[in-house]
Structure 1
Amino acid sequence: MDDKVCVGAIAGSFGVRGEVRLKSFCAEPEAIGDYGPLTTKEGTSFTVTVTRPIKNGFAARLSGVSSKEAADGLKGTQLFAPRDALPALPDDEFYHADLIGLAVLDTGGAELGEVRAVHNHGATDLLEVFKRGYKSTVLLPFTREAVPTVDLTSGRIIADPPEGLFPE
């Protein structure tokens, strides 16, 4: 799945004619249908046609889905687009999928952990960092001050976390 990026998820059926409720994870949410056929983890491919905006997402038609029961059966399914179909990003922006799994080091080179997830609760992105031997994760603000360097080629992030954020 390294050559694919999750761009949305099916939240269930919408109506009785086979439309689905679609959550878009794209920067421009309505563009989810523009990335060509989207695939599931299992490899099923769908052509997506967004029909209209609805509360918390979009109503959409998927190729091969023509009944409410078929749409209901897809609830929770993630949809992936080929990485090369997505727009190129500026130097200081990253796809969340590229950050997950990166090693996190402090400015002295000591290991702080590994990125498990990227969250956004409104103010800024937060990197969920897990270190072996610890019971819980740490949420590191994904700002230029706290994360001055992201090196995708080397698979690491250099962090300058606020004092006391990481346990000793």
Structure 2
Amino acid sequence: GGFDTTIMVTDNGVDRNGTLYVRNQLAHAHYLLRMTLFQNSGFQPFVEGYGGVRGSFLGARLVLDGEDDRQPVNDVPFFSANFNYGYAAGLRLRFGKRTFITARYAQMFHLEDGNVIQVADPNAIVIGEDGSVSSSTTTNVTLPPYSVRVGLAINL
């Protein structure tokens, strides 16, 4: 989630209008171990074990009127994360020399605070006169303990 707002900033002594884009984004990084059966066939079932971090961060970018550049204002003024681990099972179907359709179901378990993370409360984000963005209030978001993915995979 996020919002866009028009603000005025001082740029080298000149007041200029611009648009501030604020986004609350979820991010994750995991270490993954995969075991694939029938690796050289067109039908490849697999299982995975993984562990890592999942969390949220608030980012803001400013675009001054008449310019196309999105200038970072405060890349990570707020960050919240929890550690998690889990397992997954899936299937890869080959339909080209190096191209696959992949389907995967994953189940997650969390080490801290269950599957609840803190995200910046959009109603409490403060924009300073210089365009700086800060957030001191958070709200709880419950993340689902599972994920289902279907996609296209290309091995290079």
TM-score by length of structure 2 reads 0.22
Structure with more strand by fraction: 2
Q: Which has the larger radius of gyration?
A: 2
TM-score scaled by length of structure 1:
0.21
